[in-house]
Structure 1
Amino acid sequence: MTASTFQTQGPSIEQSAAPAALSPFRTAVAYDRKLTTTVPRELVHRAAVAEVMLTDWKRLDDTRFDMTAQWPRGHSFFTAVEGVHHDPLIAAETIRQIGSLLAHAEFGVPFGHQFLMEELSVTVHPEQLEVARTPAALDLEVLCKEVKTRGSRLTSLCYETTVLREGRLAASGRFSFACIAPAVYRRLRPERVFDAEYGPIPLTAPVAPQSVGRTSPADVVLSPTGEPNHWQLRVDTRHPVLFDHQVDHVPGMVLLEAARQGATVALGGSPILPLGLQCEFKKYAELDRPCLIDALRLPKAPSAPEMVLVTGHQDGNIVFTATVTAAPAA
């Protein structure tokens, strides 16, 4: 096994457990396994520990890694679909977190570099997404397909992930991103980085939460325009999950949620269980200008799942496209 460039290995529990007589507790128990915790939140670009899904990782060779993760039974934003299935977008977020962890911990990218999402796809298997009486413990198999560098510096990464729950396939996905050094980022986006006048546009009114599969208006990312299947992106920079930390553009997970909500409306407004998402991110979605979202229900065979194409435009340019494959919720 190749050693991680980041992790350090401390003594195991059985090696370091205090004798019962020295323990401040009434009974000291020596465990024969490691205790579980999340990975450092900085490695996955989260400010809140509660938003960290990954719990451990191990390098197998230059391109393969084993990881573990956990999905909570309840989450403030990734709520269970109809109370039955874990939200498929929590699978997308888990797969996204892998990229920043690998970049920093295994490929030597310093903190402060910017990551630009390029492509994200995820497919889930509903029978393995059911919420149980305990959090979902997951094993992740990660294969890096493309590792691009300039000199010794990582410039982009593409990887595929298999998510297993008790040995059964729960989800799979592919993610790619570019890694941009701070000096380059300042040249690309000087006005966004340095000019305080570029703040978010005023918060717009949400569509009815029930129409997009939500219960709280705070979690709605679409605002009505008066046209069917056409909305303005609702950008609430105070949202504690979608805007977990300060950014100078709309996060990719906000656009994924817009795709899910747009598909929900296009399919009639009843809750849907996304079976798959295929997303391409073309440009930064800026905070200070309206971003328009459109949803188009695609033709399908009678027995096939529903498919909806969702696109985002800003200043006449495509920001992202997403194809949502969905089945009615249970």
Structure 2
Amino acid sequence: MLQTSAPTDIVDTEAFRGLTTTAPREYVHRAALAEVFLTADWSRTDEAHFTLGGQWPRGHSFFGPVGGSHYDPMLAAETIRQVGALLAHAGFDVPLGHQFLMWELNYRVMPLLLPVGGAPADLRLDVTCTDIRRRAGRLAGLSYEVVISEQGRTLATGNARYTCTSPEVYRRLRADRLAEPATAQEPPTAPVEPRSVGRTDEFDVVLTPTERADRWQLRVDTRHPVLFDHPGDHIPGMVLLEAARQAVQSLTPVGRPVLPVAMDSTFHRYAEFGSPCWIETEPAVDYPGSPERLIRVTGRQDDEILFTAITTVAGLPS
């Protein structure tokens, strides 16, 4: 007869101590483990300062290397977003199930330090919380700044601001939208030519052409496993940032990839399903003596501004 013993917690065994694991996917509001860019080794210095670990993969199904050589700056944006969710749950005891509304998300990467190397980029993230707001003892909102570094070199910096609310309050605020799940939406509109926005597959395109070269309709395909990682009642903010990136790429001749080296984004309201969202760019502004250009991308829905993204673009470093 087989002898059995009491179950052992694998994390507590000596062999597994000190090894790297991803942060819980629930803590960064992701369903797929492959989309978690933070690791479980985080620590707190004081009420407002944290140190986190992270990793950028050498290859990714959506955030792949730009031009086949440089990390996609959108990885920085998504990493900064995940930091905010992790802080709320692990640092400020916000229960899972609370809803978050991102009001600002900004980043800047250092292009010369972005080439993809022979191993994934193991990251250190130093986080400073600058505006901690509570209501009835519970976290109501947070602003934070992030420095992303690898082996002592700063790869990117950024900051964000969000508010969070309980499931009960959220259900009252969004009752009409919660009754219509994303899966019930109409089929996606036609994509622009993928190569014109730096993509190779129509599935990854988030813009639909219009009669104007500087205006597109947001293309929403809830089947996309990265942009729509899990069901929701509104279009995620990262879809809007990807629309901004594809819009500025379209202003460059086909086959010449550009890096969105910086993006200062402000979100004014939820992006809703079932109503067209229009993406527009203003003429690029060149910095004298610099290879960078500054482009304003604006999203509008139902005749109201949805978001703005002041995007700085540059060519790939030689």
Would you say the 8 A contact 1:39–1:54 is kept in 2? yes
Structure 1 residue runs without a partner (length 5+):
1-7, 18-30
2:139 is matched with 154
1:314 is matched with 301
The aligned runs of 1:4-15 (5 Å cut-off) are: 11=12
1:128 is matched with 113
TM-score, normalised to structure 2, is 0.92
Would you say the 8 A contact 1:206–1:223 is kept in 2? yes
2:224 is matched with 239
* 3-state SS of 1:297 partner: coil
Would you say the 8 A contact 1:199–1:287 is kept in 2? no
Would you say the 8 A contact 2:181–2:231 is kept in 1? no
Shift of residue 287, structure 1, vs aligned partner: 1.1
Q: Percent identity?
A: 52
CA distance in 2, matches of 1:58, 1:185: 30
2:4 is matched with none
1:42 aligned to which of 26, 47, 51: 26
Would you say the 8 A contact 2:54–2:125 is kept in 1? yes
* 3-state SS of 1:255 partner: helix
Shift of residue 197, structure 1, vs aligned partner: 9.3
Aligned residue identity for 2:200 = T
Aligned residue identity for 1:37 = T
Would you say the 8 A contact 1:201–1:288 is kept in 2? yes
Shift of residue 329, structure 1, vs aligned partner: 2.5
Would you say the 8 A contact 1:198–1:288 is kept in 2? no
Would you say the 8 A contact 2:182–2:232 is kept in 1? no
Would you say the 8 A contact 1:277–1:322 is kept in 2? yes
CA distance in 1, matches of 2:306, 2:234: 12
Would you say the 8 A contact 1:156–1:178 is kept in 2? yes
Aligned pair 1:100/2:85, yes or no? yes
Shift of residue 185, structure 1, vs aligned partner: 1.1
Would you say the 8 A contact 2:244–2:297 is kept in 1? yes
After superposition, the C-alpha distances for 1:175-198 in whole angstroms (9 at most, x for unaligned) are 111101112112211101124599
After superposition, the C-alpha distances for 1:101-153 in whole angstroms (9 at most, x for unaligned) are 11111111111111001000000001221100100001110000011000211
Aligned pair 1:259/2:250, yes or no? no
* 3-state SS of 1:54 partner: coil
The aligned runs of 1:279-290 (5 Å cut-off) are: 279-290=265-276
Instruction: After the TM superposition, list the runs of 4 or more consecutive aligned residues in structure 1 that deviate by more than 6 angstroms.
Output: none
1:181 aligned to which of 163, 166, 170: 166
Would you say the 8 A contact 2:133–2:140 is kept in 1? yes
After superposition, the C-alpha distances for 1:269-299 in whole angstroms (9 at most, x for unaligned) are 4311111000000011101111010011332
Aligned pair 1:61/2:64, yes or no? no
2:74 aligned to which of 72, 84, 89: 89
Would you say the 8 A contact 2:192–2:205 is kept in 1? yes
Shift of residue 267, structure 1, vs aligned partner: 3.5
Matched length: 306
1:300 aligned to which of 280, 286, 291: 286
CA distance in 2, matches of 1:9, 1:44: 23
2:277 is matched with 291
Alpha-carbon distance change, 181 to 104 in structure 1, aligned in 2, over 3 angstroms: same
Aligned residue identity for 2:34 = A
* 3-state SS of 1:140 partner: strand
Would you say the 8 A contact 1:207–1:224 is kept in 2? yes
TM-score, normalised to structure 1, is 0.89
